[in-house]
Every structure is written in structure tokens, then in C-alpha cells.
Amino acid sequence: MTPTRLSEVWPDLERVARAEGVLRLGASGIDDEHAALFAEWLARGGHASMHYLAKNADVRERPRERYPWARSVVSILVPYAGERPAAPPGALSHHIARYALGDDYHEVLDRILRKFEAALDGVKTWRYVDTGPLSDRAYAAQAGLGWIGKNGMLIDEQHGSYVFIGTLLTALEHDVEAATVADRCGACTRCLDACPTNAILPDRTLDSAHCISYATIEHRGALDAFVAERLEGNAFGCDVCQEACPWNHAPADAHPAFAPREAYRATPVTDLFRFAQADFSALFAKSAIKRAKLAGMQRNIESL
């Protein structure tokens, strides 16, 4: 008999979570409590050239119109490397964000979410990893997996923000109680103070145009001069605000798929200047770094 309520299958989902190295598992309703803030951020152009974020903004505000069958959202947290591996000076691993030191999280979490779907055989679902029109962080926070910090990151009280989020919409009625997680940022402003480009705004949003992660990954064309002068060694992404966060003092052990790659420790970052496309594709196979493209990485390294 096909289940109708999330509580009926929750023990099965917990077993999948343990087997797949999931750090946290939670659930929430389908409505996004942060949608209004997101709409305001879009209206003032905080998303810079990431027009895809505005394309489906109405879905985030009214998710039931796009997914009328959805009744609950299952969220998972999977940890990546919180510690950067020792490496020779100038190694590529010093210049890329921690989340990109291992395999592409989109692919890894997609495989994990498929296991959850298999445990919900016969139940209509839709999975996504940082690619859908809905907010993974908002749902994870509503599921009691953490709070959204002043740097916009989801923060787990025990292990901090070095985590990936996977999201699964289901047709099951939401009847699993979520833990209440208080906002623990308090008066702390370490992330705002540490940001080299002042991209973190007081309302817990970002000025994407000045964000180093946006500039080195999403932006196409020449880097903004203000940002280029303040990369602080970042060729792909940026961890400065997370490094400054006191909640990241005890990160969880990384999921095996996100163990830092030895090739990144062994490759001097300047080697990318002589790379052909085939070299780039080989080094970054199954890596999130592919998104920046070879020309983008070379552009970024020129400004280091």
C-alpha cells in the first residue's frame, strides 16, 4: 500500500541517510518563509548577471502553482572538507574553495537523493541540488537543520556551514516535526568584517556583483577592477566568510566523495596558463570547477 504521510516512511529515510553518509535529515512544508526577502533582493538587482534566478522567482513565491502535488520537502545535509589539505606553495588546492576540492556535489547528492526516492517507491517526488527554482537553504532551515547566517549560509549548530544541501519534494503529507533552531549569530559580525569586498549586506543577502565567488565562477568577461584587486588568492570561489565564522570550529568529516583530490595538491595553479581544453577537462572531470571554464580560470589566475 502506497504511504500517504511522511511519518510512515521516516524510519526508512533515516536508514538511507545513515547508509549514505548524510549528516542531517529533516522535513518541512512546501511554502518558503524566506520568499519575500528573496523577491526584494531580486528587485534591487542583488543577483547581478544571474538572470536565471529571476526567471522563476514566482515559483519560489508560489511553489504550489508549479508543484500542486507536493505536500512536503525532505532536506539533507552532506559534509565536505572543512580543513584545507597541506600542499606546496602555489598549489592549485590553495586557490579553490573547499567545496570544490572533491567531486561535483551536484552529481554526488543527486545519486544520494535517488536512494531516497527508491525508498519512496510509488510516491511522486522531484529532487534537485542547487539547480531548482526553490531555495534549498530556506527549506533546510525550516526543517530545523540549521539557521541562515549573516553571510547567507546555512549553519548547523554542531558542525557549521561546510555542508551541501539536497532537496526532495514529495507528495506525502508533512507530519514530521521539525526541531526549532534559534538564530545563533547574535551580535557577531565577523563574516561581514572579513569579506574583502564588503559583499555581505546587513539583511543577510549578498551584493553579488562584489562577491568573489560570483566573480570567479558565474561572471563572464573581464573582472570588475575593484574585485580583481581583492581576490586574496581565490581563483575559484571564496571561503573567507566561512573561515571567519566561529561556528566552523568543528567541521564534520567530509563525505568520501568530497575528499580533496591529490591532483589539486600536485598541480601548480600557474600550470593552467598552458592548459589546452583537453587538459582542463581531464583535471576537472566530475568537478564543479568546470562551471568556470578554462578561460574563466585563466582570467582569475591572472589577477592573483
Let me know: does 247 contact 160? Beta carbons within 8 Å. yes
Instruction: Tell me the torsion sign for CA atoms 24, 163, 53, 103.
Output: negative
Q: Can you say how many angstroms the Cα of residue 196 is from the centroid of all Cα atoms in its chain?
A: 20
Tell me the C-alpha distance between 227 and 152, whole Å.
20
pLDDT, residue 1, reads 80
| 136-162 per-residue burial string, b: 16 or more CB within 10 A, e: under 16 | bbbbbbbbbbbbbbbbbbbbbeebbbb
Tell me the C-alpha distance between 178 and 141, whole Å.
10
Query: Please, what is the Cα angle at 154 between 167 and 5, to 5 degrees?
Result: 35
Query: Please, what is the Cα angle at 204 between 202 and 208, to 5 degrees?
Result: 95
- Give the alpha-carbon dihedral of 104, 105, 107, 112, to 10 degrees: 150
pLDDT, residue 250, reads 96
Residue 6 corresponds to which cell in the numbers above? 511522511
Let me know: does 97 contact 53? Beta carbons within 8 Å. no
- Please name which of 301, 263, 249 lies closest in space to residue 83, comparing C-alpha atoms: 249
What type of residue sits at position 267? T
Choice among 58, 110, 130, 279 that is catalytic: 130
Residue 255 corresponds to which cell in the numbers above? 563525505
Q: Residue 130 catalytic?
A: yes
For 243, phi then psi, to 5°, come to -65, -30
Q: What is the largest CA-CA distance in the chain?
A: 61
Tell me the C-alpha distance between 216 and 213, whole Å.
5
Query: Please, what is the Cα angle at 144 between 141 and 149, to 5 degrees?
Result: 40
User: Which pLDDT tens digit goes with each residue over 117-140?
Assistant: 999 999 999 999 999 899 999 999
Chain mean pLDDT for the chain = 97
Tell me the C-alpha distance between 244 and 246, whole Å.
6
Structural domain boundaries in the chain: 6-170, 190-248+261-302
Tell me the C-alpha distance between 103 and 124, whole Å.
28
Residues of the chain with pLDDT under 70: none
Residue 265 corresponds to which cell in the numbers above? 595538491
Tell me the C-alpha distance between 158 and 203, whole Å.
24
Residue 303 corresponds to which cell in the numbers above? 589577477
Residue 136 corresponds to which cell in the numbers above? 534549498
pLDDT, residue 175, reads 97
